[in-house]
Chains A and B, each alone.
Chain A
Amino acid sequence: MSKQKKPFIPYIFGAVIGFINGFFGGGGGMVAVPLLEKAYSYKEKNAHATSIAIILPVSVVSAIVYLVGTDIKWDVLGACSAGVFAGGLLGAVLLKKSNNALIGYLFCLVMAVAGVKMIF
């Protein structure tokens, strides 16, 4: 059952998710999943699946804006996209076999280092 009492809540969620995904070119899913879990009491798998259903059309629309306004290097885009697809399949297989918490902490560390490097 939804615990939502205010009708404008989903629109605020949508605005936050859309802004993050559009302005940063990604990251909307990382916000969408916990929002769906906490505000709508979604189970983890449902939150993940539903977040992709939200993020996919958002990413398509944002991608169009970026492709029109940015000088695209199509060769780089192609090579990277192929890698992402292959990695995604592998990641889905590894998901069940790995120590996710350890990888999670490592991910935090790498994100923080990359973040600091980008700021300075």
Chain B
Amino acid sequence: MKYVWIFLTGIAGGLLGGMGMGGGTLLIPALTLFFGLDQSLSQAINLVAFIPMATGAIIVHAKNKLIKTEGLIPIAACALAVSVGASFLEQIVNGVLQKKIFGIFLCLLALYQFFTLQKGGNSTENAKFAKKKKPHGKRNCL
């Protein structure tokens, strides 16, 4: 029965990720808070779970020629190098402190997402909520 709930939690995380909202940022706390998993384990699960979906997405995006190369190599190379160190650092920090730091990170992300939505744009853009500028010189004078 536990596996059913974990599967459903994975679906929720994947759903948000598939909609471009960073599902991992909710999957990780869900696994830690609801299932009592170790923070490192929750993060590891999120990383591993992302790989098959991202691989499929990359194939589709590459076919549709959506991947651009400007800046890609230096960004990816540096990200790879730093991520190794950051992952090892996480292994050292771990535990309760890691959980609290992750909590702060979530709150900052929530604030960032909120202000981005207020401006009416970003990856989850909805045209209805975007502020539209009125065209000049088109006042209706009755």
Residues of chain A having any CB pair with chain B under 8 Å: 2, 4, 10-15, 17-30, 32-34, 36-37, 39-40, 42, 44-50, 52-63, 65-67, 69-73, 75-77, 79-95, 98-105, 107-112, 114-120
Contact = CB atoms under 8 A, between A and B. Distances in A.
Contacts of B124: 100-101, 103-104, 107
Interface of B: 3, 6-33, 35, 37-38, 40-55, 57-58, 61, 64, 66-68, 70-72, 74-91, 99-100, 102-107, 109-114, 116-117, 122-126, 128-129
A53 B3 CA distance: 31
A14 B74 contact: yes
A82 B123 CA distance: 25
Contact of A27 (B12, B24, B89): B24
Contact of B90 (A23, A61, A84): A23
B25 A111 contact: yes
Contacts of B47: 25-26, 59, 62-63, 66
Contacts of A76: 3, 6, 31, 35, 37, 41, 45
B81 to A, nearest CB: 7
Contact of B44 (A2, A60, A67, A110): A67
Given A27-B25, A101-B124, A67 B78 contact: no
Interface of B is mostly: helix
Contact of A108 (B24, B46, B54, B113): B113
A48 B10 CA distance: 21
Contacts of A118: 29, 32-33, 99-100, 102-103, 106
B3 A79 contact: yes
Contacts of A28: 79, 83
Given A66-B91, A108-B110, 5 more contacts: A53-B58, A88-B17, A88-B23, A91-B15, A91-B19
Contacts of B37: 73, 76
B85 to A, nearest CB: 7
A115 B105 contact: yes
Contact of B76 (A19, A25, A54): A54
